[in-house]
Amino acid sequence: MTESKKNLEPFEDIRALIGSMPVLDAAVLTDVTAQAEILGNGLRPIGRLESPLTLISSCQGAPLPSLARPLIAVFGGTHGVAAQIGDGDIVSASKHRVASLTEGAAAVRGIAGELGAAFKVYEFGVEFPSADFTKEDSLSERECAAAIAFGMEVVAEGADVIILGAAGLGAATAAAAMNIALFGGAANYWAGGENATARIEAVEAGINRNRGRTSDPLEILRIFGGRDIAGLVGAILAARHQRIPILLDGYVSCTAAAILHAIDPSTLDHCVASHMSAEPAHDALLSRLGLSPVVDLELNIGDGTGGAMALAVLKAAAAGLKSLTA
């Protein structure tokens, strides 16, 4: 076997998983929209929440959606490109960010407790930054595939719905570069915002370095995305195979979804956009993915907080719908 063939094997396994996704049989899917209208005597008691609840119940193959065992999963890692944005120790900063979620006063943990949701932070090599994509590829193919495989293990937690958030240092910068590679456009469009000059310059440098190398979505993930984003890709893919609905939290988790969407749009048939974040390009990204957010609260954090708030709304709507059947 040649070395080039060996190097193809890790991603070939991922492509095989994408190619073997179970078909969501329209004949067995429940239309919550029609049911809501019937039970509501022609009214729309849950409004446009019919759509995400229909998707959730359809994935679960149930007449009504189940949101009894939610998991809020936050993926943390360290991106080498973060060194281009600030002068500090990026590993120390990344560890502090993860600790603030696991041990500090994080809003998402309080919301999770109120909703009866499990809350877990998954570390993807926080102490081992991915390479700075302005200078070299973020990950090797094997590193990328291994992170995807690790992310797939999240579905083993036994949840009936999973919220995917991100807390990786430099992850939003990586996501901006990935979106340019996927969709085109300028760095100040995908990486803009207040005090974003250094971030925009880093994204531009990375894109310029890798021109002509970004026709394959998995290569885009490998070149620009760190282990945490690769892990998000794995979690989304594994949940698709297990028919577990996913609530995508923010810009970074939606960018991970965009990688799979670029390969096969049906990989996101189980995904709901939980909220519209304050990230300037999040709206554009959701539009390209054909997703509409459950709520728009102008949150500027991607650690699962918005997803948790959307879950609260969906749980309330599902309870209301269920009460109509009592």
Q: What is the pTM of this model?
A: 0.93
pLDDT per residue over 203-250, tens digit each?
999 999 999 999 999 999 999 999 999 999 999 999 999 999 999 999
Give the pLDDT confidence score for residue 48 in this predicted structure.
Answer: 86
Q: Which fold has domain 3-17+68-314?
A: Rossmann fold (3.40.50)
Average pLDDT, the chain: 90
Q: What is the domain partition of the chain in residue ranges? A: 3-17+68-314
Instruction: Return all residues near 92 (Cβ < 8 A) that are at least 6 apart.
Output: none
Confidence of residue 325 (pLDDT cuts 50, 70, 90): low
Whether the Cβ atoms of residue 251 and residue 307 lie closer than 8 Å to each other? no
Which of the residue ranges 28-37, 77-86, 221-230 would you say has the lowest mean pLDDT?
Answer: 28-37
Q: Quick check: 322 pLDDT over 90?
A: no
Could you give phi then psi for residue 26, rounded to 5 degrees?
-60, -25
Nearest Cα to 272, choosing from 311, 319, 303, 221? 311
Per-residue confidence (pLDDT) for residue 41, from 0 to 100 = 55
Select the more confidently predicted residue: 25 or 4. Answer: 25
Alpha-carbon distance of 5 to 227, in angstroms, equals: 23
Q: For residue 1, name the pLDDT band (cuts at 50, 70, 90).
A: very low
